[in-house]
Amino acid sequence: MIKKLLIANRGEIAVRVIRACRDLGIKTVAVFSTADANTLAVRMADEAVCIGESATDKSYLNVPNIITAACALRCDAIHPGVGFLSENADFAKKVEDAGLIFIGPKSETIALLGNKVAARTAALAAKIPITPGSTEVLKDLADAKETAKKIGYPVILKAAAGGGGRGMRIVRKEEQLEQSLQIAKKEALSFFGDASVHMERYLEQPRHVEIQLLADGQGTVVHLGERDCSVQKNHQKLLEESPSPILDEEMRKAMCADSVRLFKELGYRSAGTVEFLVEDGAYYFMEVNARLQVEHPVSELVSSIDLVQAQIAIAEGKKLNLKQKDVPLKGYALECRINALSAGKITNLSFPFGPFVRVDSYLETGSVLSPYYDSMIAKIIVWASDRDKGLAVMMRALEEVVIEGIKTNLEEQKLLITSKQFRSGRFGTDLYQKVCEQEK
Amino acid sequence: MIKKLLIANRGEIAVRVIRACRDLGIKTVAVFSTADANTLAVRMADEAVCIGESATDKSYLNVPNIITAACALRCDAIHPGVGFLSENADFAKKVEDAGLIFIGPKSETIALLGNKVAARTAALAAKIPITPGSTEVLKDLADAKETAKKIGYPVILKAAAGGGGRGMRIVRKEEQLEQSLQIAKKEALSFFGDASVHMERYLEQPRHVEIQLLADGQGTVVHLGERDCSVQKNHQKLLEESPSPILDEEMRKAMCADSVRLFKELGYRSAGTVEFLVEDGAYYFMEVNARLQVEHPVSELVSSIDLVQAQIAIAEGKKLNLKQKDVPLKGYALECRINALSAGKITNLSFPFGPFVRVDSYLETGSVLSPYYDSMIAKIIVWASDRDKGLAVMMRALEEVVIEGIKTNLEEQKLLITSKQFRSGRFGTDLYQKVCEQEK
Amino acid sequence: MDTIENMDLASVLSLFEQSSLSEMELSCSRYSLKFKRPTSEDQVVVSTPVKTVAKKAEAAEPVAQSASEDLQTINSPIVGTFYLTPAPDAPPYVKVGSQVKQGDVVCTIEAMKLMNQLETEYDCEIVEILAKPEALVEFGQPLFKVKKL
Amino acid sequence: MDTIENMDLASVLSLFEQSSLSEMELSCSRYSLKFKRPTSEDQVVVSTPVKTVAKKAEAAEPVAQSASEDLQTINSPIVGTFYLTPAPDAPPYVKVGSQVKQGDVVCTIEAMKLMNQLETEYDCEIVEILAKPEALVEFGQPLFKVKKL
């Protein structure tokens, strides 16, 4: 049984994990950078330890300081939240080596899935459709040319060790291939310390649809349905919904079954997500996110399962006493990310309340937003019986939001939600540009 | 289709109804007393009309001013909220006569159920167990003595036209009967303008369990399970939960089936509640609340049905496209009423956020609580998969509440929720006295 | 503790600092002092979590308002539709400049199909007609600006 | 209680503090006073929606603190367990009054089973030992109060 848990993160996700711990009767330790001394997570936690300066590599990525704090305060476990160290196999290993429980997948699983080529290979082995392309890293230019010819242009070069949209190059003609390959390798090396690059067919306007899973590492894997995360700005998700307006029942079933099978074959433990691209009635495996995701509340609202509590129970070695039929998915959920567009002090703040609205945030009136960290400051999540009703509830909620003192994307989000394109459910990843940038 | 709706109420329930209207795309008109000019409902509504002075009989009970405002602003409907005019058959009739839709039962139904003797007769006709006692008003002292002998002391005298705990007298011995009958008649006359009194067996420590129903008045009636409202202080409910910790599946089924049958026989329309007393493994019909109730969010969280939206749809003449099997009840919900214990200005206010917590309130930092109205200022409602988890989530939520500037019952509610008696699920209506008053 | 005259500046300042005061002024035979502390923001912004649409709410404020030089308002005692004439083609009860006696009818307010005739409570001269004929007036809404006679 | 003329400032202030007043003016033969306190409208109370438990958080504040007359603090550069001695039975690196040269070790901080020896960056005298031996010290926590030499 976990009695005390350290949260190796900050902001709204730290508050989210503290709330789950309170619900479970687990004491909490917050860690914080000097810039975050006066934040909600620090005050809500039972104990708090300063682990370094504002810059993330001095604090939230400072593995020795984090693990030392957990050990010295006699924690049993560390929850990495999302981002920062949450998908770092080396960190997970060090946590385990220090005799602590890592709330997440086994470190080997994280390491395996961190390599995009290995992940594609695992997906292929589990008979999941992947985008046409290389299943190994590209050997040289000749290999690249041959592969590109086989799959057809446009193609995309990706860092094998990559993720998060970095180290990627789109190539539309063979003439560009040589130069692009050189640049992609250089970026891969500088971002990830590994110049390996592989090639996939590039989809122009795919939908991003991901399946949320929960696995106990003891043979039980269930899915919590999908989330459609196609509304993005510069590869950053803005709105996430479940169910997806573009999946039919057949494709949904196939994607869920594929994902469950993959997690079973991986012997996956904890919460995790399989990301797919969907285009022209077909779906393609993209990657596995071996961690909790920002948009997890969407799945919590349609499944009535608390994913963070489930992660902790699984990490304690408990079996998931669930069969798939025990996870009925009900209604529709939508998350809207409120991002800060400037730093500064929040002089006035008011979040929405009332039926079927949830707010996950760490802001208070008087909070000072520092420029060091992620710009996401709040998530508004709503539930309704269907999508049309859900959009109405979200607009009601957004109209109740007041954030003064800084600039936010609140008005842009209202534009998106009321746009004809979003309401129709038929749009690509360029929705933000079409709706918000053409306004200007 | 209703396009514009007037809310004949104030406070949190007015805000609740406005939120439902926004979700449905219906414009709203708030009415307010001079004391309430600067409240949230007035600002949230699309239009607002001052209808009188602070005293409720000059404003929120001022039928001509309310109906005139609705007509002049071209509303289609009036929602009475809870309390005030919500169970007033004469008001409902006047609303209908003015050509407006009354969001609630037909006025005849309200009139019938407002007479407690008539309601008992209707329940008996529907073969629902009622507490032993008279099925007609008591004729005289001799009739009273004979009835009391038949059902056994202690007995309770109740005003036939009564409700809300007024005009009631407990009689433990025959010697007290004559005097008590005189007083009960006098109280009944002064409170309700009708001296009629009937007699029932008095139950010492019953549980208050009520069934929430939804009926379209076109033949469809579904139940949303029960709420246990046994935690009370001076007959005012403090905590409400669903499912009840003391009902077994058999009794729950029987109570729900009885309630559905009664509503079918009444030709009931809109949301409504059948209240029962439960003691020693038996249940007894008490009364029907022919209106929305304060604690309705508890049923909304276990059923995922928005009761206010449903009321409005039914009032528009829509059929309930639901069968009982389409209303699966899931998990556990608990509501905690936050009451003000003093009037004054709220100098600092913070409500809980995060997973599975809902707050219905009308308070803001800077709000001034006037002494004219109900002391309930906020409802915290939580959902969890079972009762133990639900109590933990409620404590997490209550610990996040900050209300400064006035006194509230927040600490008492924490005491109740953490008490051994409440946790055990086995307690009577004297729980508040046992837990909170013995503390002092 | 010293008498006020004999205190040193540091002691006075220290007391002010430890207090909850935002301002302090002190003068005595030997010196005078004035302190002011910035409050955080110096203002409370009352949160308005919803768009504030044009409202009649404000109209309720001047219920008991009485302007300078004997100017008063006659306010609506009920909610209803305001009429200046007893019938569509009849002449108005009053005009600007009319002098009315206590008990004279100044307007009709229709509510629930009843025509309520509003009588003045004192002798006065009509200075201005504030409400719009045939529009809704709410409780407490000023209908006429009058000058008491 | 003294007559008003003979009251000292602290007493007047204390009475005002205990009162519900937001402003007070007082003048007498010997002095005049004016107090003003921020009302709740004036101040923004930062909401603290959770119990504030005793935290080490505050300890992080004095990171860059430098007290008067050349007093400085040596702060922990990492999170770890603080030791004054190199080994359990060894004598301490420094005591109050010790004079140390730049580069001298003043303590050990254990982290991840590594013993990190902390060296001073300048010549100084140890004035006070602020951290508790064998306890956790956090980043930026003051370990020693020292006087620069």
pLDDT of amino acid C15? 74
Q: Is the minimum CB–CB distance between C3 and chain B shorter than 8 Å?
A: no
Same domain, A182 and A142: yes
B50–C80: do the CB atoms touch at under 8 Å?
Answer: no
Of the candidates A183, A201, A219, which is a domain's last residue? A201
Lowest mean pLDDT across B24-33, B157-166, B411-420: B157-166
Is residue B93 domain-shared with residue B190, that is, in the same domain? no
Q: Which residue of C has its CA nearest to D29?
A: C28
Under the banding of pLDDT at 50, 70 and 90, the label for residue C57 is: very low
Q: Are residues A249 and A373 in the same domain?
A: yes
Same domain, yes or no: B287 and B432: yes
pLDDT band at A430 (very low <50, low <70, confident <90, very high): confident
CB contact under 8 A, C1 and D8: yes
Which of B201, B229, B252 is at the close of a domain? B201
- Do residue B9 and residue B143 come from a single domain? no
Contact with chain B for residue C59, Cβ under 8 A: yes
The sheet carrying A236-242 orders its strands as A282-289, A269-279, A207-216, A221-233, A236-242, A332-339, A376-384, A357-361
**From A43-52, B38-47, D12-21, the region with the lowest mean pLDDT:** D12-21
- CB-CB under 8 Å, C49 with B72: no
Question: Domain boundary residue among A174, A201, A228?
Answer: A201
Domain tally, chain A: 3
Angle between helix B116-125 and helix B107-114 axes, rounded to 10 deg? 100
Distance between D35 CA and the closest CA of chain C, angstroms:
4
Chain B hits for D50, CB-CB cut-off 8 Å, are 399-400
Q: For residue A163, what pLDDT is reported?
A: 67
Query: Are residues A37 and D60, on separate chains, in Cβ contact within 8 Å?
Result: yes
Q: Is D32 on the interface with C (CB under 8 A)?
A: yes
Question: Looking at beta carbons, which residues of chain A come within 8 Å of D46?
Answer: 364-366
Is A63 contained in some domain? yes
Is residue A124 one of the residues assigned to a domain?
A: no
Partner residue facing A396 (CB), from B19, B300, B351: B19
Question: A49-58, B57-66, B188-197, B207-216: which range is least confident on average?
Answer: B188-197
Comparing A368-372, B50-54, B384-388, which segment has the lowest mean pLDDT?
A368-372
pLDDT digits (tens, 9 = 90+) for B71-118: 999 999 999 999 899 999 999 999 999 999 999 999 999 999 999 899
Whether residue A235 is contained in a domain is answered as yes
**Model ipTM over 0.85:** no
Residue B244 shares a structural domain with residue B381: yes
Q: Which residues of D touch A34 (CB under 8 A)?
A: 60, 63, 139-140
Q: Which residue of C has its CA nearest to A402?
A: C49
CATH number at residue B51: 3.40.50.20
Contact C1 D13 (CB under 8 A): no
Residue A364 confidence class, pLDDT cut points 50, 70, 90: very high
* Within-domain flag for A117: no
Instruction: Flag whether A112 is in a domain.
Output: no
The pLDDT tens digits of the residues spanning A95-143 come to 999 999 999 999 999 999 999 899 999 999 999 999 988 888 999 999 9
Residue A307 has pLDDT above 60, yes or no: yes
For residue D142, give the 3-state DSSP assignment.
strand
Task: Check pLDDT > 60 for residue C64.
Answer: no
The CATH number of whichever domain residue A193 belongs to comes to 3.30.1490.20
pLDDT band at C32 (very low <50, low <70, confident <90, very high): confident
pLDDT (average), residues D93-111: 94
pLDDT value, residue C54: 36
Question: Quick one: pLDDT band at residue C44, thresholds 50, 70, 90?
Answer: very low
Active-site hit among A120, A291, A337, A387: A291
User: Would the pLDDT of B291 be above 60?
Assistant: yes
Residue pair B377/B340 in contact (Cβ under 8 Å)? The answer is: yes
* Distance in Å, alpha carbon of C35 to nearest chain B alpha carbon: 25
Mean pLDDT, rounded, of chain B = 94
Chain C within 8 Å of D10 (Cβ-Cβ)? yes
Q: Are residues A33 and A171 in the same domain?
A: no
pLDDT category at C58 given cuts 50, 70, 90 is very low
Confidence at residue B309, expressed as pLDDT on a 0 to 100 scale: 98
Tell whether the model's pLDDT for residue D43 goes beyond 50.
no
A110: in domain? no
- Mutation target to probe the C interface, by most C beta carbons within 10 A, among B6, B22, B27, B49 is B49
Q: Is the pLDDT of residue B59 over 90?
A: yes
Q: What is the reported pLDDT for C142?
A: 96
Q: How far is B85 from chain D (nearest CA, A)?
A: 36
What average pLDDT score do residues B40-67 get?
96
Q: What whole-number distance in Å separates Cα of residue B128 and Cα of residue B275? A: 12
| Bridge partner list, A336 | A239, A380
Asked if residue A367 belongs to a domain, the reply is yes
List of residues 6+ apart from B378 with CB closer than 8 A: B12, B337, B338, B351, B359, B360, B361, B363
pLDDT tens, residue by residue, B181-213: 998 888 888 878 888 999 999 998 899 999 999
Q: Is D64 on the interface with A (CB under 8 A)?
A: no
Q: Which domain holds residue B80?
A: 4-103
Chain C residues with CB inside 8 Å of D17's CB? 19-20
pLDDT at site D2: 58
Q: Could you tell me the pLDDT band of residue A391, with boundaries at 50, 70 and 90? A: very high
Identify the closest residue of chain B to D39 by CA–CA distance: B347
Best of A23, A327, A389, A399 to disrupt the B interface by mutation (most B CBs within 10 Å)? A23
Tell whether the model's pLDDT for residue D52 goes beyond 60. no
Band the pLDDT of A57: cuts 50, 70, 90: very high
Question: Residues of A near C (CB-CB distance < 8 A)?
Answer: 347-352, 366, 399-402, 404
Q: Give the residue-averaged pLDDT of A54-75.
A: 95
Mark whether A181 and A228 lie in a shared domain: no
pLDDT greater at residue D52 or residue B281:
B281
Chains touching D (at least 3 CB pairs under 8 A) are A, B, C
Q: How confident is the model at residue C27 (pLDDT cuts 50, 70, 90)?
A: confident
pLDDT at B285 over 60: yes
Q: Examine the pLDDT at C56 and tell me if it is beyond 50.
A: no
- Confidence (pLDDT) at D42: 40
For A201-212, the pLDDT digits (tens) are: 999 889 999 999
Give the active site residues of B: 291
Q: Are residues B301 and B271 part of one domain?
A: yes
Q: C59 pLDDT exceeds 80?
A: no
In a domain, B127, yes or no: no
Same domain, yes or no: B420 and B296: yes
Closest CB to C25: pick one of D8, D34, D44.
D34
Say whether both A434 and A311 belong to one domain.
yes
pLDDT in tens, B297-325: 999 999 999 999 999 999 999 999 899 99
Which residue among A37, A59, A73 places its CB closest to the CB of D57?
A: A37
User: Which pLDDT does position C38 carry in this prediction?
Assistant: 61
Check whether residue A351 and residue A398 sit in a common domain: yes
Q: What percent of chain A shows pLDDT beyond 90?
A: 85
Residue A359 has pLDDT above 80, yes or no: yes
